[in-house]
Amino acid sequence: MNPSRKRRIRLVAALTAALLAASALVYTSFSAGSDEQTASQLLDGAVAGRTYTLAGTVKDHSVTRSGGVVWFSVLDPHKPVAVRVRYTGIVPDPFREGRGVMVQVRRQGDLFVGEKDSMVTKCPSKFQVAPPRSSSSPAASIT
């Protein structure tokens, strides 16, 4: 076979394979992708049993713990609306009230149940601490 024709056939075959692989990638990402929703979007249209990515801010004074279960409310970034989330397991270290979070949830009535280990908490670029306790700042080790 003519070498240039051979090269052209190879190129077409390689490009076809790449196109097919890319199509599979696009298809699976759209079918496996979890919709990122705000609290108000979830309250308006979340279907029971389907997984959503809830994004928002942890509402002040909403975090309670009982055994290994953490309850908290996630605020919509644009509206004064929040949804209550029940989350089981260890939460990320930066998790706290006022912090941005993303968590995979499923609807159960008015409640949303977080999937274990699905929570991402935004790490703050700055954080606020109090002034030192006193000028002498005793380091009382009481262990």
Binding residues vs other proteins (CB under 8 A): 3, 7, 21-22, 25-26, 28-30, 32-37, 53, 55, 64-65, 67-68, 88-94, 96, 100, 102, 104, 117-118, 120-143
Structure tokens belonging to residue 116: 């274990």
State the nearest-atom distance from the C-beta of 49 to other proteins, in Å: 17
| Owner of token pair 């090269």 | 7
Residues in the chain: 143
State the nearest-atom distance from the C-beta of 12 to other proteins, in Å: 16
User: Which is closer to other proteins, CB of 109 or CB of 135?
Assistant: 135
User: Which is closer to other proteins, CB of 109 or CB of 130?
Assistant: 130
State the nearest-atom distance from the C-beta of 111 to other proteins, in Å: 20
The single-letter DSSP state of residue 12 is: H
Q: Which residues contact 126 (CB under 8 A, 6 or more apart)?
A: none
Kind of pairing between the strands at 82-88 and 111-114: parallel
User: Which is closer to other proteins, CB of 65 or CB of 109?
Assistant: 65
Query: 117 by DSSP, 3-state: which?
Result: coil
User: Which is closer to other proteins, CB of 9 or CB of 22?
Assistant: 22
State the nearest-atom distance from the C-beta of 60 to other proteins, in Å: 9
Burial bucket for residue 106 (CB in 10 Å: 0-12, 13-18, 19+): middle
